Structure 1
Amino acid sequence: MSDYDNSGVTETDASVTASDFKVEVGARLQAIREERGLTRESAAEVLRCSVDKIGSSERGRTALSAVEMSILLDFYDVRGARREHLEALAEKAKKRRSPAPWSAAVSPRLKRFFQLEETAVRVRTYNPLLVHGLAQTEDYARALIAGEGGRRPAQVEQLVRARMARKARLNGPSPVSLTIAIPEAGLRSGIGGPELMRGQIEHLIELSTSGRADIRVIPNGPAVYRSQSFAFSILDPAGRRNPVVYLEHMLDGVLIEDAARVSEFEDAFEDMLNTVALSPGDSVTLLATVAEQP
């Protein structure tokens, strides 16, 4: 890292979110600490806090107070323009911002995943049965959400709007890099009826041919591969050194942050792309074939 680097999120960034500044500050503090050859334990001793708090602040989960920030920057011997910039970012990290469009529509257990998704620079995802939320059409999303049952029409529409708001990550000046792996069987599921599925598949074709997403179809066949039966997403959030994994199941989802375990999912995903998934061009050809069939 240079002595002073003012790149990163700003309040005028089109995709800035409530957690962006905390993530940015945390990543910079961690980088400076490691530059100085210092440990989290030594930083915690100076602040008279737990090591967990230092780790939480470096991961962008916790904002330090102005006093804590000043003490830590003194300890790290950060001066001049670099210090001023970090202190300004830290102040922005503590300000309340308008809630994200989906914030009122999702349960607390999903909010952290969506926050990570909003700041991710890359998302790699696999689902054995369904199209990922970032690539769903409005009609497809509505059919899925309504089909889960137990919601009034107004609640269904609120969740549909929230899901569509997430798709903004595919547009703008800094779109997320999205790779979706999906089995052919998931495209032939018939959710919502033939016309609805045709529209969804045509949308996947458009995402692929426009370069907004890398869609990789796994054709029907006898191949068996790792992670075949469950859905997961690998996210590379801005400002973090290591990606995280979101593992879905029926009632909840789990975030995995341990680097060794995340690496297992990355290896499984790459193996999937390299051994059983079609190339982007061949995937588009198969998508077009499925869309034309009744």
Structure 2
Amino acid sequence: MEWSAMGQARPTVERLQLGLALTRLRNQANRSQGEAADAIGRTGGRLSQVENGKGGLGAEELSKLLDFYGVRGPERETVLALGAAARRRQPRRGYIDNLPEPFQRMAELQTAAREIHWYECGVIPGLVQSPDYVRAIMAVANSVYWEDSEEETSERVQFRLEHQRRVLEASTPKHIWVIFTEDSLRHTIGDESIMRGQVLHLLQLLERHPSLSIQIVPDSVVNNPALGGGMVVLDFVQSTPVTFAPVLHGPSTYYDQPEDIEPMRRTFNRVRELALSRSDTRALLIAKVQEDA
């Protein structure tokens, strides 16, 4: 296991995910950190390290803690597997999240982040999609990315809308940069009325969230180094940054090593330089609404 100069395990994606999952389960069980630590014979400080992604628990300790929280079934198996991944000593470049419910862990990472840098090419990023755009894009995916199921589609819609609320309306406002290419506004999802509503939604978000910066890369830009791709960079208060590239289907691969994080951060910063400013983006969106009126 990698250790920092302070004697704590180095934060990794797996340890961050484990800590966030255990925090959520403890809160759901209505238990204090002290009570949970006593249940497994640990100090509150040690459990705090684990919940903050700076340590792991042995298999027996983790099993006992899940017993204390009353966690059973598939969720228990997932957390135990996550604990095993967090204890891994072998260094690795990327972590592929193959465990069940990966989108919940992705959402928890974004909720815990202090800063979010999100770029997409050709599609509106999920964090700023309007409710109608979310429903339309999930309807398109139904029977393509999963078996035809209105129930699953509805669950995915509700999950994304709740995820947006948790991130955008966090008690401590986050600094969020969302950048996308201008053609994202022309690729119709649903119908033209939904796309017009999406533009209005972006304008409303800019008014309601001063710490949210939405920027558009105009069609006229040349030499966009991220053309055809997407990326998310998450920064935390006391933990290593985490990056990943959004995928259409399948598990996400997370990166927490400097040799992967820094190129993605440089790429994002370059795209931000090429994009319109927040105010110029707002002007473009207003012009788009007037054009479509």
- TM tier, shorter chain? 0.5 to 0.7
Deviation at 1:195, TM superposition (A): 1.3
**Structure 1 residues 92 and 224 mapped into 2: Cα distance closer, same or farther (>3 Å)?**
closer
Give the Cα–Cα distance (whole angstroms) in 2 for the partners of residues 231 and 69 of structure 1. 44
Q: How does 1:85-164 map to 2 (within 5 A)?
A: 86-87=45-46, 89=48, 94=65, 96=69, 108-150=101-143, 151-164=148-161
Quote the residue 1:264 is aligned against.
Answer: 263
Deviation at 1:186, TM superposition (A): 0.4
Instruction: Structure 1 unaligned segments of length 5 or more: list them.
Output: 1-29, 41-51, 71-83, 100-105
Among candidates 163, 166, 169, match of residue 166 of structure 1: 163
Quote the residue 1:229 is aligned against.
Answer: 228
Quote the residue 2:84 is aligned against.
Answer: none
Deviation at 1:161, TM superposition (A): 0.7
TM-score normalised by the chain length of structure 2? 0.67
Give the Cα–Cα distance (whole angstroms) in 1 for the partners of residues 220 and 256 of structure 2. 33
**Structure 1 residues 61 and 69 mapped into 2: Cα distance closer, same or farther (>3 Å)?**
farther
Instruction: Structure 2 unaligned segments of length 5 or more: list them.
Output: 23-35, 53-64, 76-98
1:189 aligns with 2:160: no
**In the alignment, is the contact (CA less than 8 A) between 2:179 and 2:217 conserved in 1?**
yes
Q: Residues 90-110 of structure 1, C-alpha deviation per residue, up to 9 Å, x if partnerless?
A: 6988564999xxxxxx95333
Quote the residue 2:277 is aligned against.
Answer: 279
**SS of aligned partner of 1:61:** helix
**In the alignment, is the contact (CA less than 8 A) between 1:113 and 1:255 conserved in 2?**
no
**Structure 1 residues 119 and 180 mapped into 2: Cα distance closer, same or farther (>3 Å)?**
same
**Structure 1 residues 91 and 160 mapped into 2: Cα distance closer, same or farther (>3 Å)?**
same
Quote the residue 2:214 is aligned against.
Answer: 215
**Structure 1 residues 128 and 55 mapped into 2: Cα distance closer, same or farther (>3 Å)?**
closer
**SS of aligned partner of 1:110:** helix
**In the alignment, is the contact (CA less than 8 A) between 2:214 and 2:281 conserved in 1?**
yes
Give the Cα–Cα distance (whole angstroms) in 2 for the partners of residues 159 and 249 of structure 1. 16
**Structure 1 residues 88 and 107 mapped into 2: Cα distance closer, same or farther (>3 Å)?**
closer
Aligned pair count reads 229
Deviation at 1:234, TM superposition (A): 0.8
**Structure 1 residues 55 and 185 mapped into 2: Cα distance closer, same or farther (>3 Å)?**
closer
**In the alignment, is the contact (CA less than 8 A) between 1:113 and 1:246 conserved in 2?**
no
Deviation at 1:156, TM superposition (A): 1.5
**In the alignment, is the contact (CA less than 8 A) between 2:233 and 2:241 conserved in 1?**
yes
Q: Which amino acid aligns with 1:223?
A: V
| Larger CA Rg, structure 1 vs 2 | 1
How big is the alpha-carbon RMSD for the aligned residues of Structure 1 and Structure 2? 3.5
Q: Residues 212-261 of structure 1, C-alpha deviation per residue, up to 9 Å, x if partnerless?
A: 41001111115122122111111123431x21111123322211111121
